[in-house]
Amino acid sequence: MTTLPGTFGAYGGRFVAETLMFALDELEAGVREILRTDEFQSTLRELLRAYVGRPTALTRARPLATALDPDGVGLADVWLKREDLCHTGAHKINNALGQVLLAKRMGKARVIAETGAGQHGVATATACALLDVPCEVFMGAVDVERQAPNVARMKMLGARVVPVETGSRTLKDAMNEALRDWVTHVAHTAYCVGSAAGPHPYPSLVAELQRVIGDEARADMLRESGALPDAVVACVGGGSNAIGVMRAFLDDDVALYGVEAAGDGVGTARHAATLTRGRVGVLHGARSYVLCDDDGQIQEAHSISAGLDYPGVGPEHAHLRDTGRVTYLAATDREAVEAATLVARRMGILVALETAHAFAKVAEVGRRESARRGRPVSALVCLSGRGDKDLGTLGAWLEASGGAR
């Protein structure tokens, strides 16, 4: 029987109140004894096929490659792994469905979740509706406002949305509140964490549930293009879509790039570029990179995208950064909006603002990798989610900046 790795190099672990330790042990046992069984895996696989709509498409995006690199010196081709086509519109459902199914098998009577962009909240509410489990979602009050369509969806799905008014009133604070609720109702409540972050076993569990993205993409790349991509690019909030697509390529000769949110710029005080600008610390139960001051106080992150607006990052990414296996870049709010606009106009796909950060760095990845390999390269982008939820934010931004080209 395999045991889950609790740490990734110097990162990960469990930094939680003693009260929660038994629940994490219990969850770890659930992963080992329930989630890893053939019966569970085949039930989940069938749900992912018939309900979520997996496998998701792999789309060749020549027009985008041409738009990003008109001379074709850096980018030979761009491929899109279409997680936006999942039911509920983002990769989050892969994880939520797995965790809620596990919670149900473990006999939990109630599921809670935190959410930033609302995608994980919607995914958890969806899984809970399907599997008939009461669901409560904690969401920062700022995010309740900027992701209003997702709040309405969660309510329609029968979930209770709890606006969080503490701290920066964003994702970090939603997770604080979810942890407080969990400590208080731990015996009968399952906490469905939305990213590859938090105390062990969450980073491993979420990565295990999201690796379907990379497994499918790798097989489809080989089948449809006859080769692996030269580079894989994904946005990084807590890091779940990124680790999900990257795990399948870790042992290949494929360059891996994560893109964080640079907000107003990594040189300013308003960004969420934890791996680029953070330091090693403990937040939400794991040791990883965090944005904090010299006294150890966690700093507020800033990003136009609620799903990346987080001063922490999953521990596996901290390790992959230190080992150099993954390169982490950061894209500003402006770059993300421009990238979202470009993808919409060239490909007819409205991407989430989170995802837009990955697109914002595809040209740079092309330059770096073509220089290294001495030829134009192909890049696979994890298109983690659709952008309908962001139309309000995008409209306001475009209006303030004088409209799109």
Ligand X SMILES: Cc1ncc(COP(=O)(O)O)c(C=O)c1O
Instruction: Give the range of 29-37, 90-98, 177-185, 251-259 binding other proteins by CB under 8 A.
Output: 177-185
Q: Is 263 in the site for other proteins (CB under 8 A)?
A: no
**Joined tokens for residue 124:** 């958890």
Comparing CB distances to ligand X, the nearer of 190 and 308 is 308
Shortest CB 65 distance to ligand X, Å: 22
Tell which residue, 389, 367, 387, has the closest CA to residue 379: 367
- 132 binds, options ligand X, other proteins, none, Cβ within 5 to 8 A by partner type: none
Active-site pick, 28, 81, 92, 316: 92
Crossing angle (nearest 10°) for helices 353-360 and 362-373: 30
Grouping H, G, I as helix, E, B as strand and the rest as coil, residue 140 is strand
Bridge partner list, 77: 378
- 237 binds, options ligand X, other proteins, none, Cβ within 5 to 8 A by partner type: ligand X
Comparing CB distances to ligand X, the nearer of 232 and 352 is 352
Q: Is 19 in the site for other proteins (CB under 8 A)?
A: yes
Comparing CB distances to other proteins, the nearer of 22 and 269 is 22
- 240 binds, options ligand X, other proteins, none, Cβ within 5 to 8 A by partner type: ligand X
Bridge partner list, 14: none
Write phi, then psi, for 113 (nearest 5 degrees).
Answer: -150, 160
Furthest C-alpha separation in the chain = 60
Shortest CB 134 distance to ligand X, Å: 22
Active-site pick, 28, 83, 114, 216: 114
For other proteins, the binding residues in 179-198 under the rule CB under 8 A are: 179-180, 183-184, 186-187
The span from the CA of 22 to the CA of 187, in Å, is 9
- Residues of the shown chain interacting with ligand X in the complex, contacts defined by CB under 6 A: 90, 92, 116-117, 119-120, 195, 235-242, 307-308, 352, 354-355, 384-385
Contacts of 298 (CB under 8 A, 6+ apart): 172, 281, 283, 290, 291, 292, 311, 312
- Kindly determine how many residues on this chain lie close enough to bind other proteins according to the rule CB under 8 A: 39
Shortest CB 29 distance to other proteins, Å: 12
- Per-residue interface string for the shown chain with other proteins, residues 279-318, x marking contact by CB under 8 A: xxxxxxx-x--x-x-xxxxxx-------------------
Within a 13 Å sphere around the CA of 134, how many CA atoms are in the beta-carbon half?
6
The span from the CA of 405 to the CA of 394, in Å, is 14
Choose which of 8, 23, 231, 272 interacts with other proteins (CB under 8 A).
23
- 141 binds, options other proteins, ligand X, none, Cβ within 5 to 8 A by partner type: none
Place of tokens 């680790």: 243
Tell which residue, 283, 254, 219, 182, has the closest CA to residue 56: 219
Task: Evaluate the omega torsion of the peptide bond into residue 201 and state whether it is cis, within 30 degrees of 0.
Answer: yes
In SS3 terms, 268-325 reads as CCCCECHHHHCEEEEECCEEEEECECCCCCECCCCCCCHHHCCCECCHHHHHHHHHCC
Active-site pick, 288, 370, 378, 384: 384
Comparing CB distances to other proteins, the nearer of 2 and 297 is 297
Comparing CB distances to other proteins, the nearer of 319 and 361 is 319
Please indicate whether residue 92 is annotated as part of the active site.
yes
Shortest CB 373 distance to ligand X, Å: 27
Asked if 351 contacts 331 with a C-beta cutoff of 8 angstroms, the reply is no
Q: Is 39 in the site for other proteins (CB under 8 A)?
A: no
Point out which residues bind other proteins (CB under 8 A): 13-23, 25, 166-167, 172-173, 176, 179-180, 183-184, 186-187, 279-285, 287, 290, 292, 294-299
Catalytic site residues? 92, 114, 384
